[in-house]
Chain A
Amino acid sequence: MSENGKVLLETKDLKQHFKVIGENAFKKVKLKAVDGVSFSIRKGETFGLVGESGCGKSTIGKTLLRLHEPTSGSIIFDGTDITHANMKPFRKRMQIVFQDPYSSLNPRMTVGDIVGEPLDINRAYSSKNERREIIIDRLNLVGLNTEHMNRYPHEFSGGQRQRVSIARALALNPEFIVCDEPISALDVSIQAQVINKLIELQHELDLTYLFIAHDLAVVRHISNRVGVMYLGRLVELADAEELFKNPRHPYTQALLSVAPIPDPKLNREKGRILLEGEVPSPVNPPSGCCFRTRCKHATEECAQTRPEMEEAASRHFVSCLREKSIPEYVSA
């Protein structure tokens, strides 16, 4: 879409390590939730981040907003390095929508106050009336109306609550929104409503999204560019269509091949790459390539050298030592 657009957000070798209690209860061990991730998001673009649970995709979302303090690396937002900066001026411009619309809204606040709270904190209005107008405007944007203002979250369904979350994120006219699995807690018919709303708002308000999800079909639908994560590292990064049509990393190929598609004939025909075993613990990740323990193409070399992101095709980056010898994936 915006191939030559300005880069709004960039991360360089971002690392987020947590100290957790390991097998020995008296000794803390390092959990490498995000381990050297670099990518950039252009203005007006949707960057999709996919991966299985525990791969670090939500951690990235939170670290970008400095809800976690990054261990190392840098985050650059609109030309400014915000890795250690005072976040106050940036909070207005970067917002987040969380996965669970049940726990991310305060049950004791009315919807009007929930949407108004960011305005209060930033003193973004000069009169009570103006505050009210802004709130009503944001609620209308997401398809709720004025009468919803005085209701409490429990009076709403999951889809409506998620809209309240979006309205709150939009309160201060942000430029960038992290959508952390905004639809996985919703029913299928409601998911489509929220996806449509997000795309519509993006066009209307010129928003940039980081869209985190594990549902591949949804990410393909909404994203311009997609990054695939495994064990805290990006393994593949490409434009959405290119990635889904021509995946090059063995993990992406496996992920695509096992995602159920609602089409029985295609399901019968498509060849599935069934991965053996489970994701290793991020406390003690495998040496070299983190995927090698489940990869059928892995060799000796994969255990020794950690692969770097390399441009395999135009704008298509893969982190795999044996990228050239991996058979092409025939997508359904």
Chain B
Amino acid sequence: MANSLLEMDDLRISFFTPAGEVKAVNGMSCALNQGEVLGIVGESGSGKSVSVTALMKLLVRPGKVVGGGIKFDGRDILAMSSKEMRGVRGKDISMIFQDPMTSLNPVFTIGNQLIETIRTHTGMPKKEAADRGVKMLAQVGINNPEKRMKQFPHELSGGMRQRVMIAMALSCSPKLLIADEPTTSLDVTIQAQILDLIKKMRDETGAAVILITHDLGIVSEICDRIMIMYAGRIVESGSVDDIYYSTAHPYTKGLLGCLPGSSKGVRAPLKAIEGNPVDLLDMPKGCGFASRCGECMKICLRENPPSFPIGEGHVSACWKHVPVNASEVRP
């Protein structure tokens, strides 16, 4: 994958807390191509948000990248100075956060914040930037954009604010858009509108999108590829159809199994994954999922499984999937 837009190689992130080292991300590798929508799915604490925070170099103490590398568009992100990074953030990589209530500055108008972003990165004169801002707002489906430019965040509803965030994120035509749980705090009818908007933007601008969520329904709707994370590791990744129809990893199977669905019979017990997620302070030696896994073997407790290929672009980190020809195993 020589010309992929983003490459993460064995990324490791730890938080050095008074209680000890919390290994939030333990060796995450992935590649993302232009125009692709990648879904990162995992439960809280699985490291999905932390990994993209590192990608934006927004990780704050006590968090630290302790290993691995991130390459974006051929450049090494981790080696960039904070000044260089400021030129990347908002211009090449934009991010939409979960909570639109707190990610806008309450004391500035929408227009003020939108114009600031545009001017910082393009150096446009104010008037032109304002026109661009109005155009962006109209593009994300906000009616009466001229009036909205003069309003403050508290005058808008949650869905509207998330639209403003998207408009701001897209105002400098980024190559990569990161959406961290963009619809979690919104209602389903508004969620559908926002997802549609992200899809439309991808088609129009060709930007790559990383969508972080815990909702397997959402990713199945808009993603091309999915990565499932558990305890700071990618346990399975593949195309949407791979993940849903030829599910390989026991954790993914567990996740899909515990969703209530029409085919599963009303009020029949759901196949819950027993137990609780692992303590990241005290990671077990072997596979992170071993203690909750119904198919756990001896080797799972001893050694952490590497990623084994299952099909075209479909990998699973589970000892069950060791290829018959052992020499194919990636070290």
Q: Using a CB–CB distance below 8 Å, which chain A residues touch chain B?
A: 52-53, 157, 159-160, 187-193, 195-196, 199-200, 214, 216-218, 220-222, 240-241, 244, 254-255, 258-265, 267, 272, 274-275, 278-279, 332
The 4 closest A-B pairs by CB, nearest first: A260-B217, A192-B258, A221-B260, A258-B192
Are B188 and A192 closer than 8 Å at their CB atoms?
no
Known: A258-B188, A261-B261. A222 touches B255 (CB 8 A): no
Tell me if B58 counts as interface (CB < 8 A to partner A).
no
Contact B269 A189 (CB under 8 A): no
Q: Beyond A52-B189, A187-B43, A188-B43, is A195–B260 a contact (Cβ under 8 Å)?
A: yes
B272 within 8 A of A: yes
Chain A residues within an 8 Å CB radius of B254: 189
A-B contact pairs, 24 of them (CB 8 A): A52-B187, A52-B188, A187-B214, A188-B43, A189-B255, A192-B270, A192-B272, A193-B273, A196-B272, A217-B217, A217-B261, A218-B260, A222-B260, A254-B189, A258-B189, A258-B192, A260-B191, A260-B217, A260-B218, A260-B221, A261-B220, A267-B220, A275-B192, A278-B190
In the bound assembly, the distance between CA atoms of A199 and B274 in angstroms comes to 16
Instruction: Tell me the smallest distance from the CB of B155 to a CB of chain A, in Å.
Output: 12
Given A187-B43, A196-B272, A217-B259: A260 touches B189 (CB 8 Å cut-off): no
Q: 1/0 contact trace for B201-242 toward A, CB 8 Å?
A: 000000000000011111011000000000000000000110
Give every chain B residue within 8 A of A195 (Cβ-Cβ): 260, 270, 272
- Considering the complex, give the chain B residue whose CB is closest to the CB of A266: B220
Q: Give Cα A195–Cα B261 distance, bound, in whole angstroms.
A: 13
New A-B pairs, 12, CB < 8 Å, besides A221-B270, A258-B189, A259-B217: A188-B43, A189-B258, A189-B273, A192-B258, A193-B272, A260-B215, A262-B259, A264-B240, A265-B245, A272-B192, A278-B190, A279-B187
Q: Does B127 contact A (CB under 8 A)?
A: no
CB distance from A205 to the nearest CB of B (A): 16
Instruction: Give the chain B neighbours of A241 by CB distance below 8 A.
Output: 266
Does the CB pair B260–A262 fall under 8 Å?
no
Is there contact, CB below 8 Å, between A255 and B240?
no
Complexed CA–CA distance, A255 and B256 (Å): 22
Q: Is the CB of A217 within 8 A of B157?
A: no
How far is A136 from B270 in the complex, measured between Cα atoms in Å?
A: 26
Closest to B270 in A: A192
A160: chain B residues within 8 A (beta carbon): 276
Q: Which A residues lie within 8 Å of B220 (CB)? A: 260-264, 267
Determine the residue in chain A with the shortest Cβ distance to B269: A196
Known: A263-B244, A278-B157. A188 touches B188 (CB 8 A): no
Chain B residues positioned under 8 Å from A196 (CB to CB)? 269-270, 272
> B187 and A188: CB pair below 8 A?
no
Assess whether B304 is interfacial by the CB under 8 Å rule.
Answer: no
Q: How far is the CA of A191 from the CA of B255 in the complex (A)?
A: 11
B188 touching A214, Cβ below 8 Å:
yes
Closest to B216 in A: A262
Which chain B residue shows the least CB distance to A202? B267
Residue B193 lies at the interface, judged by CB distance under 8 Å to chain A = yes
Task: Kindly state the separation between the CA atoms of A187 and B216 in the bound complex, as whole angstroms.
Answer: 12
Q: A262-B261, A263-B220 are in contact. Are A274 and B193 (CB under 8 A)?
A: yes
Q: How far is the CB of A268 from chain B (nearest CB, A)?
A: 9
Which residue in A188, A199, A267 is a CB contact (below 8 Å) of B255? A188
Residues of chain B lying within 8 A (CB to CB) of residue A53: 187
Binary per-residue interface labels of chain B (310-326) against chain A in the complex, 1 for a CB within 8 Å, 0 otherwise: 00000000000000000
Contacts of A188 in B (CB 8 A): 43, 214, 216, 255, 258-259
Min CB–CB distance A40 → chain B (angstroms)? 20
CA distance A202 to B189 in the complex (A): 32
For the complex, give the distance between the alpha carbons of A259 and B261 in Å: 12
- B271 located at the interface, meaning its Cβ lies under 8 Å from any Cβ of chain A in the complex: yes
Per-residue interface assignment for chain B, residues 168 to 198, with 1 indicating a CB less than 8 Å from any chain A CB and 0 otherwise: 0000000000000000000111111101100
* A189-B254, A192-B273, A261-B217 given; A222·B267 CB < 8 A: yes
B120 to chain A, nearest CB (A): 31
Residues on A with beta carbons closer than 8 Å to the beta carbon of B193: 274-275
Tell me the minimal C-beta distance from A135 to chain B in angstroms: 22
Which A residue's beta carbon lies closest to that of B189? A275
Let me know if B217 and A157 touch, CB within 8 A.
Answer: no
Question: CA of A240 to CA of B256 in the docked complex: distance in angstroms?
Answer: 22
A189 touches B189 (CB 8 A): no
Cross-chain contact B261 with A214 (CB below 8 angstroms): no
Q: Identify the closest chain A residue to B271 (Cβ).
A: A192
Tell me which residues across on chain A come within 8 A of B272, comparing CB atoms. 189-190, 192-193, 195-196
| A193 contacts B274, C-beta separation under 8 Å | yes
Q: Can you list, as one digit per residue, whether each of B243-269 has a CB less than 8 Å from chain A (1) or not (0)?
A: 011000000001111111110101101
* Closest B residue by C-beta to A221: B260
B18 to chain A, nearest CB (A): 16
Q: How far is the CB of B38 from chain A (nearest CB, A)?
A: 15
How near does chain A come to B214, taking the closest CB pair, in angstroms?
Answer: 6
**In the complex, which residues of chain B have a beta carbon less than 8 angstroms from the beta carbon of A255?**
188-189
Residues of A near B260 (CB, < 8 A) are 192, 195, 217-218, 220-222
Task: Say whether B44 faces chain A, with CB atoms less than 8 Å apart.
Answer: yes
Instruction: Return chain A residues, CB-CB under 8 Å to B192.
Output: 258, 272, 274-275
Q: Which residues from B are CB-within-8-Å of A222?
A: 260, 267
Closest residue of B by beta carbon distance from A156: B276
Asked whether A262 and B244 contact (CB < 8 A) given A195-B270, A196-B272, A255-B188, the answer is: yes
Contacts of B259 in A (CB 8 A): 188, 192, 217, 262
Q: Are A259 and B266 in contact (CB under 8 A)?
A: no
Distance of A281 Cα from B239 Cα, bound (Å): 41
CB <8 Å contact, B267 and A221: yes
Q: In the complex the two chains form, is B44's CB within 8 Å of A274's CB?
A: no
**Measured CA separation A159–B43 after assembly (Å):** 13
Asked whether, in the complex, the Cβ of B273 is within 8 Å of the Cβ of A244, the reply is no
Q: Confirm or deny: B153 has a beta carbon within 8 angstroms of a beta carbon on chain A.
A: no
Q: Is the CB of A259 within 8 A of B188?
A: yes
> B254: nearest residue on chain A (CB-CB)?
A189
